[in-house]
Amino acid sequence: MRAQSSATAPTPIAVDAPAHPRAGILQAALGVVAFSLTFPATAWGLEGFGPWSLVAVRSVLAAVLAGGCLLALRVPPPARRHWPGLAVVAAGVVLGFPLLTTLALETSTTAHAAVVVGLLPLTTALLSALRFGIRPSRTFWTAALAGAAAVVAFTVQQSGGALTAADAYLFGALLVCAAGYTEGGRLARVMPGWQVIGWALVVCLPLTAPAAALALTHEPVHLGVHSVTGLLWVAAGSQFLGLVVWYRGMAAVGIPKASQLQLAQPLLTLVWSVLLLGEHLTVAAPVTAVAVLVCIAVTQRARG
């Protein structure tokens, strides 16, 4: 495993990342599957909750789950040097991305919103290169750009080719999430990945708990099977469990390679949208899926 932090960084401690690269790829892939359900689950949640209520309550529930695990296992608080990175993870992954994408999904379809996920791998790789001095090969970048272009073309075509007012939210979500992924991947090399997202969720609790109480008093709530299921999934699956395996995967195989697995996420999201939301796909879906899988295979073989 190659270190990505500076030479002055502390010696890694008891990391729970898998030692074998294939295990890391598998865990990152499981994270992608969990994330691919986020937009459809959010759409379900919005059937019964307002956007602010949904985001705040999901964060509180995820923090309670994470905090319970931390307490049960008697995990000591992270060292002071790790808190700035955890703050970036919290701002990007716990608060920024869920809020901005939920606001976007009020007026955007899941297909259109998937554009942000298609661009996320490339943005994460770029930020990691700037942050840590990582220099992937030319082949890696060529395949990554080709895959991103294929995903963007497909998702824009699915949404009718028109940009919406939600695009500002989506591009903002893209940037903050990439920053959170980058810092989370770095921290997962020196502390267990589940603790990275666990502490990030807990540190947000003083903000999310009052926000949830306030939002629930100002936005109508209509509990139903869809709304409750969507809330539970984005809280437990997307916000906690998915990020646990995702950060472990990034720690094992590196941020750039793990991030390229997310090229498949928009296509998975569209499949779930058909099955769960009744949306319709065109014949372009299998063609794009093959192109994306080829790009992923190339990035996994390219030398970083």
Give mean pLDDT, residues 140-155.
84
Q: What is the pTM of this model?
A: 0.80
pLDDT top residue among 127 and 299: 127
Question: What confidence tier does 159 reach under pLDDT thresholds 50, 70, 90?
Answer: low
pLDDT top residue among 269 and 22: 269
- pLDDT beyond 80 at 138: yes
pLDDT top residue among 155 and 57: 57
| Mean pLDDT, all residues of the chain | 84
Between CA 11 and CA 143 the distance in angstroms is 34
Q: Check residue 20 and give its pLDDT.
A: 66
Q: Which stretches of the chain are DSSP H helices? A: 21-36, 38-45, 51-72, 83-89, 97-105, 110-132, 138-158, 167-187, 193-218, 225-232, 242-253, 255-260, 265-272, 284-301
- 210: how many CB neighbours lie within 10 A of its CB? 12
Q: Which of 109-113, 211-215, 257-261, 267-271 has the highest mean pLDDT?
A: 211-215
How far from the centroid of its chain's Cα atoms is residue 152's Cα?
17
Q: Check residue 18 and give its pLDDT.
A: 47
Is the alpha carbon torsion for 291, 181, 191, 237 positive or negative? negative
Give mean pLDDT, residues 63-85.
93
pLDDT top residue among 165 and 273: 273
> Among the listed ranges 250-259, 260-269, 272-281, which one has the minimum average pLDDT value?
250-259
Question: What confidence tier does 84 reach under pLDDT thresholds 50, 70, 90?
Answer: very high
Question: What confidence tier does 124 reach under pLDDT thresholds 50, 70, 90?
Answer: confident
pLDDT top residue among 16 and 209: 209
Question: What confidence tier does 73 reach under pLDDT thresholds 50, 70, 90?
Answer: very high
Give mean pLDDT, residues 184-196.
86
Q: Check residue 217 and give its pLDDT.
A: 95
Give mean pLDDT, residues 21-35.
88
Between CA 87 and CA 89 the distance in angstroms is 5
pLDDT tens, residue by residue, 12-25: 333 444 456 788 88
How far from the centroid of its chain's Cα atoms is residue 149's Cα?
19
> Among the listed ranges 8-22, 46-60, 158-172, 175-189, which one has the minimum average pLDDT value?
8-22
Q: Check residue 163 and give its pLDDT.
A: 67
Q: Check residue 13 and give its pLDDT.
A: 35
| pLDDT > 90 fraction of the chain, expressed in percent and rounded | 42
Give mean pLDDT, residues 18-41.
85
